[in-house]
Amino acid sequence: MNKPKVLVTRQWPASVEAKLSNLYDVTLNESDRPLTAEELKIALQQYDAVCPNVCDALPAQVLNVENKRCKILGNFGVGYNHIDVAAAKQQGLIVTNTPGVLTQSTADIAMTLLLMSARRGAEGDRLVRSKKWTGWCPTQLMSSDVTGATLGLIGFGRIAQAMARKAHHGFGMKILYVKPSPAEQAIVDELQAVRCDSIAELLAQSDYVSLHCPGGAETKHLMNAQNLALMKPTAHLINTARGDVVDSLALIEALKAGTIRGAGLDVYENEPNLHPGFLELDNVSLLPHLGSATIATRTAMGEKVLANLAAFFAGEELPDRVV
Ligand code: 8YV
């Protein structure tokens, strides 16, 4: 019997690519160049499984291509807002993702950005590199305290809870959250987490606001000018979720005007072409979508895709089925 044909749209950790190559008739992307919409359509016609990532936009116009061979999209990543899952379902395409394995590394990056923004780490690095540092000074780069401050989490899923643990147990932070339904009592007790009735209430009370909701139409520009104005003037906004949860222009205005003190961003609208206004500001720390970028995590994400493909081709229940 012929091996199933599998396409991996970008380069993955070598150990995972080696396992895939043993199991399937795999096409890897040695050049690591992102695929175009046209190439993705052809991939859907030529492969049994396509393994995309956040860079592969898969709207209905791509997924609805005629004469599809593809039966499963094994997404490399937990977020799947780049895939029109309703269209996929309608087309009979299974979508899987990689939850769980990137929780800690992504929460670590959220905490990194919180600390960078609070303590002006990137500014300090630029000062030293520019050779403009003239030596210690009592009023130089004075910044915001983290220990004992209040962290407000918008969304309280796995990654938010992991961040809350680091912040509460490591930095003595008070935890606030908003979530459609109350969190499990054991988690609330462990973190002494307080659920706010509204986003407005959370924004008004938090020294740091960290976004952990999914991307997509429902959360697009959730942090708009109106909501940014509800934050304390001393507060910082952290985004490791999806870029379009924040209205870039409104955030740039708030940072420029000083209606909030700082921001730390790992994700952007229209990646990698983030709004150039961010580059002109000193009070925003910018990372290139590093959330899950540890060797162990990226390998575990690949292993998750492998497990989903193995279950699919064995006719078994899929561990991480989205639709
Ligand atoms: C991934 C992420 O690197 O998993 C996610 O949703 O945002 C990142 O950790 C990226 O999405 C890969 O597709």
pLDDT value for 142? 98
- What's the confidence (pLDDT) of residue 111? 99
Position 22 scores a pLDDT of: 98
Residues having CB closer than 6 A to ligand 1 are 53-54, 76-79, 102, 106, 291-292
For the question of residue 168 being annotated catalytic, the response is no
Could you tell me the pTM of the whole model? 0.97
Where do the domains of the chain lie?
Answer: 5-101+295-313, 103-286
Tell me if residue 242 is catalytic.
yes
5-101+295-313 in CATH: which number? Answer: 3.40.50.720
The pair of three-digit structure tokens given for residue 31, joined into one six-digit string: 């050049």
Q: Which residue's alpha carbon is nearest to atom 6 within ligand 1?
A: 79
Quickly tell me which residue has 């004469």 as its tokens. Answer: 67
**Ligand 1 center to 142 CA (angstroms):** 34
Asked if the domains 5-101+295-313 and 103-286 are classified in one and the same CATH topology, the answer is yes
Looking at residue 1, its pLDDT comes to 76
Cβ neighbors of 7 (< 8 A, separation 6 or more) are: 26, 27, 43, 46, 47, 49, 50, 51
Under 8 Å between Cβ of 248 and 274:
yes
Tell me which residue has tokens 């459609």: 180
Neighbours of 102 (CB within 10 A): 25
Per-residue pLDDT of the chain (323 residues; tens, 9 = 90+): 799 999 999 999 999 999 999 999 999 999 999 999 999 999 999 999 999 999 999 999 999 999 999 999 999 999 999 999 999 999 999 999 999 999 999 999 999 999 999 999 999 999 999 999 999 999 999 999 999 999 999 999 999 999 999 999 999 999 999 999 999 999 999 999 999 999 999 999 999 999 999 999 999 999 999 999 999 999 999 999 999 999 999 999 999 999 999 999 999 999 999 999 999 999 999 999 999 999 999 999 999 999 999 999 999 999 999 99
Closest by Cα among 100, 103, 97 to 318: 97
User: Locate tokens 């899950």: which residue?
Assistant: 292
Q: Which fold has domain 103-286?
A: Rossmann fold (3.40.50)
